[in-house]
Structure 1
Amino acid sequence: MAIAGRSEDSLAADSVADALREAAFVRLLASDDSDSLAAAGLLGRALAERGTPFQARVAGQLVGATDDATTVHIGFEGGDLSLPLEQPASETAFGVARDLDCDPDPVLALAGMGEALEGTSAFEDARGQGVVERRPGVAVPVADLTDGLAHTTLVHAPFSGDEEATAAALDGRDDPREVASLLALSVANTDGATPRAAESVARALRPYAITAGESAVSGRCETVGGYADVLRASAREQPGVGLALALGYDAWDAALAAWRTHGTRTHAALREATTERHRGVFVARVDDAPLATTARLLCDFRSPEPIALAVSETRAAAAATEDTDLGDHMHEAGAAAGGDGDGSARRGRARFENADEFVSAFREALP
Structure 2
Amino acid sequence: MNAVVVDAKRTIFGKQNGLLKPFLPEDLAAPIIRFLSRKLGDQVDEVILGNATGRGGNLARLSALQAGLPLSVPGMTIDRQCGSGLEAVRYACSLIQTGAGTMYIAGGSESSSQSPFSERARFSPDAIGDPDMGIAAEYTAARYSISRSLQDEYALLSHQRSRNAHDEGFYREEIVPLGELETDEAFLKTRPIEAIIPRAKPVFDTSSGTVTAANSSGIADGAAALLVMEEEKAAALGLKPVLRFIGSAVSGIHPNFSPAAPVVAIRQLLHTHDVTPDDIDLFEINEAFAVKICVCSQELGIPFSKINVRGGALALGHPYGASGAALVTRLFYEAKRRTDCQYVIAAIGSGGGIGLALLFEVLA
Indicate the structure with greater strand content: 2
Please give the TM-score of this superposition, normalised by the length of structure 1: 0.31
Q: Higher RCO, 1 or 2 (CA under 8 Å, sep at least 6)?
A: 2
Please give the TM-score of this superposition, normalised by the length of structure 2: 0.31
Indicate the structure with greater helix content: 1
